[in-house]
């Protein structure tokens, strides 16, 4: 094992040290990946003192340019894309002085000869000469030709350590991934190929390993005897926007599930590795994927849901176009932008326990979470890993309410990175570049893992290609996704855990100025409810009184003669007066369009009102202002 391994001793918590000397060669250095992510990540490493003096970056791209123009361009871009609270001019100058550039077409052998000469020149006489990283920040369409040219120019025969870093998508299906693997392995050894997944650079994803290895109190519970099911969700509020040409050939399964979500599932469900040795960790991940039961056609029909967004309203309230109206998207496209899939793991630890994966675009909120539901009362015991945009770990449980009576209520304990550590926000690439320089492949995918992940998803892709969806679009932009995704869990007696945040609740006028303590209480108490157009939410005269908030859609209040009394719109609440006055419902409320609601049960409402008297006055004022 390298003396520069980027490991942290789980017993001592000692931090890592300066990375190994080396040269980072970026193929495609003029692209978005370089300016938005790689260069800000390198700048963060420089600011934290983790880059060695013997370090250099050599960029190559098809555009004309020189080292001077490359440095000038990166200086302009770092001002826009750096993630630190303030800009450190001295550290940037240090990094900028180590940037070099050569122009060349990807298919031109002479360009690679010039590239090798430049790499040799900048590393000459330093320790960096024995450590070369070749980062393919390019379209997968160029992988084959660039690899062949690098080999022909002698990069595969460089002295010392050398590694090639490959970005996703790694193939478009099992056959193409296997072919790409064989192409790479014909030129590089397995330990020289670093397949990168930026999700593995996120602190909370890495914290999954620390959580499993450093907290023995959970080990006896980490099995199907104690865990009811696991949900892994990655949702986005944005649509495909300018990525239509790429996305329409890809879809959500290839873009998110086959890589990011299966990576997270592997860390959560793999057998605890005996050590942090890279091969031991990657062996455990590969074995976990091998245990996934491959779905047949009937399984796909029953356990897999696909969707595509239509027109709607974005989270910020602005109109949103449908997927088929996005630039560079086929107006008749059947490409899914949403998927929810139920998987089974056939091993001793997880036999009989399902794992649900869900991801989609143009939804109601942005967030990536892993929810572990323990057995017992519904939602009583949850362990939630918040991956993004909020990073932390949360435990939801039952606790006694303050007071002389012995009454239980849902409570939570939460660890937030932002509240616990004084660290600047990163891009997620810092740790990946750092460990790659150190020759530590732990966070990079091996051939067997990549091909196993494609084997899991290939039956889904095949089944969906053979039976194109006939009901697209089947969910509005800004909603929780297609109704069938809710049904997928309901048929198992479960439901999706929509991880609310204070920011989501504050979209409602009532909660906009609510104190933090109240918001934290409500986040734990609300549950989601999706209803279709025409569905009745409450009946006039009903004595079952709950509070509802409209996240998406609109509902009408109807009187005894079926006359419309008013419209309840997004951000508004209803049901609060019946609760406050302890009276039956005065009107029927039914959905005018598909609606996503948050529901606060009557019992929880009464408890919260008792604890926060000002909330009652605010509710009365809001109800009066809309004439309810």
Task: Quote the tokens at residue 74.
Answer: 């990166």
φ/ψ region of 422 (left if φ > 0, alpha if ψ in -120 to 50, else beta) reads beta
Report which DSSP code applies to 540.
Answer: T
Which residues on adjacent β-strands are paired with residue 394? 384, 414
Active site residue 495: no
The conformation of residue 242, written as its DSSP 8-state character, comes to G
502 token code pair: 């204070």
**Tokens 């609601």 label which residue?**
597
- CB count within 10 Å of CB 516 equals 8
d(CA 4, CA 85): 29
Q: How far is CA 590 from the centre of its chain?
A: 34
Give CA–CA dist 329/337, Å, rounded: 12
How far apart CA 148 and CA 270 sit, in angstroms, is: 36
Q: What contacts 295, CB < 8 A, 6 or more positions away?
A: 303, 304, 343, 459, 460, 463
Tell me the sheet residues that pair with 358. 233, 340
Q: Which two tokens stand for residue 448?
A: 């067997």
Which candidate, 276, 287, 288, 286, places its Cα nearest to that of 442? 276
How crowded is the C-beta side of 387, counted as CA atoms within 13 Å? 27
- Options 198, 260, 497, 594, the catalytic residue: 260
Looking only at the bridges linking them, the beta strands covering 227-235 and 367-374 are antiparallel
Distance CA 590, CA 142 (A): 54
Structure tokens at 552: 């998406």
- Show the tokens assigned to 140: 């997968």
C-alpha 32: how far from chain center:
20
| Distance separating alpha carbons of residues 131 and 23, to the nearest angstrom | 6
Q: What is the secondary structure of 75-96 as a DSSP string?
A: HHHHHHH--SSS--HHHHHHHH
Give the residue numbers marked as catalytic.
260
């Amino acid at each position: 094992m390298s003396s520069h391994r980027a490991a942290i001793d789980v017993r001592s918590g000692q931090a890592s040290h300066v990375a190994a000397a080396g040269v980072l060669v970026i193929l495609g250095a003029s692209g978005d990946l370089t300016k938005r992510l790689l260069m800000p990540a390198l700048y963060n490493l420089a600011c934290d003192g983790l880059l060695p003096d013997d370090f250099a970056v050599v960029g190559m791209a098809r555009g004309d340019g020189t080292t001077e123009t490359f440095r000038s361009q990166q200086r302009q871009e770092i001002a826009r894309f750096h993630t630190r609270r303030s800009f450190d001019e001295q550290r940037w100058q240090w990094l900028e002085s180590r940037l070099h550039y050569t122009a060349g077409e990807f298919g031109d052998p002479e360009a690679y000869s010039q590239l090798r000469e430049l790499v040799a020149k900048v590393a000459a006489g330093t320790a960096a000469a024995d450590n070369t990283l070749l980062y393919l920040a390019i379209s997968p369409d160029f992988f084959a030709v660039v690899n062949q040219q690098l080999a022909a120019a002698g990069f595969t025969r460089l002295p010392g350590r050398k590694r090639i870093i490959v970005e996703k998508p790694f193939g478009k299906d099992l056959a193409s991934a296997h072919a790409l693997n064989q192409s790479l392995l014909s030129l590089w050894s397995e330990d020289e190929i670093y397949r990168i997944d930026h999700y593995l650079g996120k602190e909370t994803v890495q914290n999954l390993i620390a959580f499993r290895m450093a907290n023995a109190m959970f080990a006896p519970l980490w099995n199907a005897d104690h865990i009811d099911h696991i949900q892994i969700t990655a949702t986005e509020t944005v649509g495909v926007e300018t990525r239509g040409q790429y996305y329409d050939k890809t879809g959500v399964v290839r873009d998110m599930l086959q890589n990011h979500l299966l990576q997270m599932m592997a860390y959560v469900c793999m057998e605890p590795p005996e050590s942090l040795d890279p091969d031991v960790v990657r062996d455990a991940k590969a074995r976990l994927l091998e245990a996934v039961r491959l779905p047949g056609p009937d399984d796909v029909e029953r356990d897999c849901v696909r969707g595509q967004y239509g027109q709607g309203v974005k989270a910020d309230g602005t109109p949103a176009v449908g997927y088929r109206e996005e630039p560079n998207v086929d107006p008749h496209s059947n490409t899914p932008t949403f998927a929810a899939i139920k998987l089974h793991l056939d091993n001793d630890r997880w036999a009989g326990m399902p794992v649900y994966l869900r991801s989609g675009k143009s939804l109601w909120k942005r967030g990536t979470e892993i929810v572990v539901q323990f057995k017992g009362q519904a939602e009583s015991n949850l362990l939630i890993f918040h991956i993004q945009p909020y990073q932390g770990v949360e435990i939801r449980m039952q606790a006694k309410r303050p007071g002389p009576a012995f009454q239980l209520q849902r409570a939570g304990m939460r660890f937030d990175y932002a509240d616990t550590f004084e660290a600047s926000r990163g891009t997620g690439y810092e740790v990946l570049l750092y460990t790659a320089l150190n020759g530590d492949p732990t966070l990079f995918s091996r051939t067997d893992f990549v091909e196993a992940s494609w084997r899991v998803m290939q039956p889904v892709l095949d089944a969906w290609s053979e039976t194109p969806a006939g009901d697209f679009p089947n969910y509005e932009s800004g909603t929780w996704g297609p109704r069938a995704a809710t049904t997928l869990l309901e048929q198992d007696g479960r439901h999706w855990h929509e991880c609310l945040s204070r920011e989501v609740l504050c979209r409602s006028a009532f909660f906009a100025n609510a104190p933090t303590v109240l918001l934290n209480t409500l986040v734990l108490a609300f549950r989601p409810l999706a209803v279709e157009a025409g569905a009745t939410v409450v009946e006039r005269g009903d004595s079952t009184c709950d509070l509802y908030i409209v996240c998406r859609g609109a509902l009408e209040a109807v009187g005894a003669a079926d006359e419309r009394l008013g419209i309840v719109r997004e951000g508004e609440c209803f049901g609060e007066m019946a609760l406050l006055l302890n009276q039956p419902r005065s009107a029927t409320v039914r959905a005018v369009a598909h609606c996503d609601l948050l529901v606060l049960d009557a019992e929880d409402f009464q408890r919260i009102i008792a604890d926060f008297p000002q909330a009652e006055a605010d509710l009365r004022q809001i109800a009066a202002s809309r004439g309810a």
